Amino acid sequence: MSNERHILLLPGSLRVGSTNETVLRTAAVVAAATPGLRTTYYTGLGGLPHFNPDLDTDPLPEPVVALRAAIEAADALLVCTPEYAGTLPGSFKNLLDWTVGGVEISDKPTAWINAAGPGRGGGAEATLRTVLGYTGAAVVDAACLRIPLERGAVGPDGLVADPLVRERIGAVLAELAAA
């Protein structure tokens, strides 16, 4: 039996090169250097159909099947999402809506990293906590973290360059893996 822990990285932004993507891609690199930890970066956000309860029956749309399978295969979930208009981006809320009708996320250890600047991002965090409550996710408060990330903190490789921020991301992963 393997002690390896698998964390699914869920980006809340469709924007290529967003700070949220940067945080999660950095988390993947940190995890790869951590024995017993692996990650998968979810790339299907833009391909999910608009949530419609009439479609939340068998057979499910293929992108929804893939999403639910990715969640089921993971031991834990790590989200990094921006805030748009004081709440979650519609595309990410759509992803979460597709998880309400399934059981894959129920009791799954889940956390987030908020990369928003000072004074921003609170609405997304509050909405995320509320929606995750409806999905039955087990929010790991000790692994939920705010790491304001400026564009200048991103290295030429597209990853977070600051070793202290990388260390904090590693601590989030360790906390989530232990949950």
The average confidence (pLDDT) of the chain is: 93
Dihedral (CA of 154, 160, 163, 164) sign:
positive
> E strands within 49-171?
76-80, 109-114, 138-139, 145-146
| pLDDT tens digits, 118-165 | 778 888 999 999 999 999 999 999 999 998 887 778 899 999 999 999
At residue 117, the pLDDT reads 74
Instruction: Please provide the CATH number assigned to the domain covering 5-178.
Output: 3.40.50.360
Q: How many CB atoms lie under 10 A from the CB of residue 147?
A: 20
pTM metric for this prediction: 0.95
pLDDT band at residue 2 using 50, 70 and 90 as cut-offs:
low
Average pLDDT over residues 17-37: 94
User: What span, in angstroms and rounded, lies between the C-alpha atoms of 128 and 47?
Assistant: 21
> Can you give the residue ranges of every domain in the chain?
5-178
